[in-house]
Chains A and B, each alone.
Chain A
Amino acid sequence: MSEEKTEKNINLTLLVWRQPNAEAKGTMQTYAAENISTDMSFLEMLDVVNEGLIKSSADPIEFDSDCREGICGTCGVVINGQAHGPQRATTVCQLHMRNFKNGDKIYIEPLRSKAFPVVKDLVIDRSAFDRIITAGGFISVNTGGTPDANSIPIPKANSDMAMDAAACIGCGACVAACPNASASLFTSAKISHLALLPQGQVERKQRAQSMVDQMDKEGFGDCSNVGECEAACPKEISISNIARMKREYIKAVLS
């Protein structure tokens, strides 16, 4: 119904990863997605397919999503080999079906990594990310007793750069896109955000070391500068954050 555009509907073939639980072996299964409006989001298309599956007494495809406006980081699947699909800087909930053509065959898989075990179908366990933050992704302030917010001026450029890094939504696309399944982009975004701000200086070294060590412990691979993470990132987090993380880490362990 979007104005000045003729709405058109398309038919698609979906090949979807189905895995009943973490222990079971998964398989790719084929589904027809018919009469799909190109104004739908990718997840709305899956909703429609699922409604059909329920009606025919089949198990619907389980996938995670929540805000559906690209900010909560809950959703994420690999579409035709690309984390979050073909559109740059776009989460799968904001990816619209106008990016696909009638007759397309679409492969849909979870964001795979050893550190992200599959829970069911397209649902994965990303608690490793939480543990990386728990290891040091914070500034140690208790509630109350903080100085006036304007008592520490921060150059706008630094503040903006910190914000660029802080925009990470923790979806895990960077890990799925990386041939080494590295969580470097995610981890470096938080390390950068806090290292760029005066408030983050006190714990700077300890933070870099704890977070990087935790990342290794979780079984994520190391960075080898492939750059797939940056290309897949729906928030366009820059790979230069990884360079900063490496610098921070070396400074932390060598001094």
Chain B
Amino acid sequence: MKLDSREPNYPLSEMWDKHRFDVKLVNPANKRKYTILVVGTGLAGASAGASLAALGYNVKSFCIQDSARRAHSIAAQGGINAAKNYPNDGDNVWRLFYDTIKGGDFRSRESNVYRLAQISTSIIDQCVAQGVPFARDYGGLLDNRSFGGAQVSRTFYARGQTGQQLLLGAYSALMRQVNKGNVDLLTRREMLDLVLIDGKARGITVRNLVSGEIESHAGDAVVLATGGYGNVFFLSTNAVNSNATAAWRCYKKGAYFANPCYTQIHPTCIPVSGDHQSKLTLMSESLRNDGRVWVPKKKGDNRKPNQIPEDERSYYLEEKYPSFGNLVPRDIASRNAKEVCDEGRGVGASGLAVYLDFADAIKRLGETTIKEKYGNLFDMYERIKDENPYKSAMTIYPAVHYTMGGLWVDYNLMSTIPGLHVLGEANFSDHGANRLGASALMQGLADGYFVIPYTLGHYLAQTDLPPVDINQSEFKESEDAVNKRITKLLSINGNKTPREIHRELGKIMWDYVGMARNEEGLKKALEEIPKLREEFWNNLNIPTTVGDLNKNLEFAGRVADFLELGELMARDSLERSESCGGHFREESRTDEGEAKRNDDEFSYVSAWEYTGEESAAKLNKEELVFNNVKLSQRSYK
């Protein structure tokens, strides 16, 4: 299949406006005849569900959590970008567009990113109207702060819990539609298959996580907003239930998976404390506004941080990147942390940590101000580490945080399966090979509030959609396949728990498909992962009471999919022998050690096509065309 991005043929700055005029509309009286299945209730899913319901569509909304308010968007801390230029510091749509394209290391589609920057300003208006309590200054107007990869302050925030407040805004909009009877909200449901009829997405098969029942739901289109796949690594900043199963099931039904190798390793997480660890905790990037990152100059210097004098410290980001300093993009900050630790200058018991120091900021601004800005983050650090960050430098280390790759979508956010639309982190579209801080919230809400309401109508209006119901054979076949797989998982009776196998997969992924990758390691991963998958299907041990709430069964199903997705990530990493953004191939670096792109050979999106259990995935390419920005070696010096 030829990949058609369906970019409208207009100049960039007019593209979205003219496209919105070109799209077909669904008559208000006809909207109620359509049922839209929205999977996931994070920022993208909740905003899409609320907006589509407000337009008059029948919406069925699904989430795995016990409440729509708990999706993992809630954990986003630092903020949301928008080109409002309230601080009068030179921001505009063009600059946000350029920063995002450059931050993504020129591996994203110009048209999608420009639209994102355009829409960004409406998001803030929408959220304020919903009552999102963004931070304000004493004049009562909105406050902004800076994030990595930008030299303007365009990040809106609500203390250290911006994601929570934005999600509660979207959740309240969704619940308002539940109140009006426009949304049927089904919680504790996990999507386990996509149902195609005549080649179009017409339904989903879900498992009721309380009763264990398998249910079919039919509709006219499916909107998938199920987040990213960072939990392939076992340890990540994702929630313990975050998973790739819904997206992976769609891949196996014909949706292409784009750029699986693009994963983001966040530089400021709390270091691992031991094997018992179930997840990693992020300390917001906003801390790099005031915190200074350093390690001792001397290897193996194990003095306490405040006993190491200034001239024996290396503030390596400030030294190496004077114009961006501690606010270089995430991929660069992470790689530099790894480098200094690999040199033996890491700190902490494991030597796998660097300092994030607020001593200067506290001296300059006072403890009260710091507390106001970052209080909840400091408290969290103290609870986890049992150390007071006001008194002594924090230790941080990079951890898997976000996945830029995801299901391939066109300009209308539709996948290669007609009717299956993919929003938020679950798609690949806007962040290229590296996402800038505070841009995930922007994208999730842009897709849900302001893109899908137009583009979904366009699809519905021009598509013949005869009525379907769940008694059709396609639904029964899907239910049978789902049941068969569950029975198989429950009948293995082996010795290893899903968590044990997941941890082993995580180690392979972190060692060979992590912050730095090379041909030898990737080939090793491609040998190890299938072996582990084999072991999983022969030696899994899970509790066997089916038809009941069984979290280990849920978990096992997700690990089974991670074991396949992990292999595709390694293949994609191997195939892309250039470095770009979060994908760092050791073989491809500049003289200064930075990621070196190879635009002649790799200026494309890798879109992988499922070809069956026995055959390897097929690589399709969407060439990236840059008409508006000049490709350059990224420099933050």
Contact = CB atoms under 8 A, between A and B. Distances in A.
A170 interface: yes
B130 A199 contact: yes
A54 B138 contact: no
Given A43-B278, A153-B140, A199-B129, A62 B551 contact: yes
Interface in A122-156: 123, 125-127, 129-130, 133-144, 146-150, 152-156
5 tightest A-B CB contacts, nearest first: A153-B140, A138-B172, A146-B129, A163-B133, A143-B51
Given A47-B499, A54-B552, A150 B141 contact: yes
Interface in B128-173: 128-131, 133-142, 158-159, 161, 163-165, 168, 171-173
B386 A66 contact: no
A96 interface: yes
A47 B278 contact: yes
Contacts, number: 238
A4 interface: yes
A45 B278 CA distance: 10
A2 B273 contact: yes
Contact of A194 (B131, B141, B240, B379): B131
Contacts of A34: none
Given A40-B276, A59-B543, A69-B380, A134 B74 contact: no
Contacts of B171: 133
B239 A67 contact: yes
Q: Is the interface of A mostly helix, strand, loop or mixed?
A: loop
A39 interface: yes
B54 A66 contact: no
Interface stretch (A70-78, A223-231, A237-245): A70-78
A48 B239 contact: no
In this complex, the interface size class of chain A, counting residues with CB under 8 Å from chain B, is: 35 or more
Contacts of A1: 272-274, 348-350
Interface string B270-289: 00111011110110000000
A94 interface: yes
A48 to B, nearest CB: 6
Nearest to A98: B386
Interface string A201-233: 000000000000000000000000000000000
A153 B139 contact: yes
A72 B128 CA distance: 22
A197 interface: yes
Given A40-B276, A143-B450, A149-B142, A125 B175 contact: no
A139 B187 contact: no
A94 B383 contact: yes
A41 B273 CA distance: 11
Interface stretch (B118-126, B322-330, B613-621): B118-126
A102 interface: no
A138 B548 CA distance: 34
B172 A149 contact: no
Contacts of B279: 68-69
Contacts of A55: 495, 497, 541
B88 interface: no
Given A66-B240, A139-B172, A156 B545 contact: no
Contact of A137 (B47, B175, B383, B385): B175
Given A44-B277, A146-B128, 13 more contacts: A7-B274, A55-B495, A60-B551, A120-B210, A127-B67, A129-B67, A136-B179, A143-B126, A149-B84, A150-B142, A163-B135, A193-B133, A197-B131
8 contacts: A2-B385, A21-B548, A37-B273, A69-B279, A69-B380, A127-B66, A166-B168, A199-B131
A230 B171 CA distance: 24
Most chain A CB atoms below 10 A, which of B133, B171, B279? B133
A119 B208 CA distance: 13
B380 A144 contact: no
Contacts of B545: 59
A167 interface: yes
A167 B239 CA distance: 19
B124 A73 contact: no
B187 A127 contact: yes
A193 B158 CA distance: 13
Contact of A66 (B72, B210, B387): B72
Given A66-B241, A120-B549, A197-B131, A143 B70 contact: no
A127 B164 CA distance: 19
Interface string B547-577: 0110110000000000000000000000000
Nearest to B86: A150
Interface in A1-46: 1-5, 7, 20-21, 37, 39-41, 43-45
A142 B75 contact: no
A130 B65 contact: no
Contacts of A193: 131, 133
A48 B304 CA distance: 33
Interface string B437-477: 00000000000011001000000000000000000000000
A148 B125 contact: yes
A162 interface: yes
A167 B386 contact: no
Interface in B335-349: 347-349
Contacts of A73: 67, 69-70
A238 B347 CA distance: 40
Among A135, A138, A170, find the residue whose CB has the most chain B CB atoms closer than 10 A. A138
Contacts of A120: 210, 548-549
Interface string B357-396: 0000000000000000000000110011111000000010
A74 B133 contact: no
Contacts of A197: 131, 133
A70 B67 contact: no
B53 to A, nearest CB: 10
A68 B176 CA distance: 28
A48 B503 CA distance: 13
A92 B165 CA distance: 21
B543 A60 contact: yes
B273 A143 contact: no
